[in-house]
């Protein structure tokens, strides 16, 4: 969709968070010279158009106990990758399922998913379960747990419109 300057101002005004007051959309409107009604209508459109993927709590997953975060990657024959990607997407513990390009010979994997859990062992069990469910048990895979986190910052539309979190 075309994002006009007022949408842009609205996106910037709420990117760090919605005000914690009874009438937050009125408060946001007051910051950027829009009425409460205008803010509500524009937000509804941004959600409908998918510019806003979702609206609510963004959890700090490590802090709420999800300390084991695995990027699980698979080397799926190209003709099966869509089917496999959709099968992984159906699993409740999979939060992301994307196809990405291989970089042979260093990187043969073309299907990526994220599995989050409290402990490494539990996540490893889920990976096995996912392989069975998506019929990927004979497909080469690698499980990359995250170690230290060196940088994380929230969505900063004002600096660059694409700062949207971990979901590249």
Cβ atoms within 10 Å of 14's Cβ, excluding its own: 21
Residue 138 found at the interface with another protein (CB under 8 A):
no
User: b or e along 156-167 (b: 16 or more beta carbons within 10 Å of the residue's beta carbon)?
Assistant: ebeeeeeeeeee
User: Between 100 and 121, whose beta carbon lies closer to another protein?
Assistant: 100
> Which residues, in sequence order, are bridge partners of residue 70?
115, 145
Residue 36 found at the interface with another protein (CB under 8 A):
yes
Shortest CB 156 distance to another protein, Å: 8
Q: Are 72 and 112 spatial neighbours (Cβ–Cβ below 8 Å)?
A: yes
Cα 139 to Cα 156: distance, rounded to the nearest angstrom: 38
- Out of 9, 27, 32, 46, the only residue in the binding site for another protein (CB under 8 A) is 46
Residue 30 found at the interface with another protein (CB under 8 A):
no
Residue 35 found at the interface with another protein (CB under 8 A):
no
Residue 152 found at the interface with another protein (CB under 8 A):
yes
Residue 163 found at the interface with another protein (CB under 8 A):
yes
């Amino acid at each position: 969709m075309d994002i006009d300057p007022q949408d842009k101002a609205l996106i910037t005004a709420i990117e760090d968070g919605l005000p914690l007051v009874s009438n937050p959309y009125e408060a946001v409107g007051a910051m950027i010279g829009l009425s409460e009604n205008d803010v509500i209508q524009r937000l509804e459109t941004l959600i409908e158009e998918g510019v806003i993927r979702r609206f609510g709590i963004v959890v700090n997953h490590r802090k709420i106990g999800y300390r084991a975060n695995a990027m699980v990657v698979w080397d799926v024959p190209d003709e099966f990758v869509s089917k496999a990607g959709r099968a992984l997407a159906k699993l409740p513990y999979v939060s992301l399922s994307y196809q990405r390009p291989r970089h042979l010979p260093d990187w043969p994997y073309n299907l990526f998913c994220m599995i989050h859990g409290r402990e490494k062992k539990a996540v490893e069990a889920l990976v096995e379960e996912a392989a069975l469910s998506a019929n990927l048990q004979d497909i080469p895979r690698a499980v990359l747990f995250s170690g230290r986190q060196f940088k994380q910052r929230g969505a900063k539309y004002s600096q660059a419109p694409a700062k949207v979190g971990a979901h590249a």
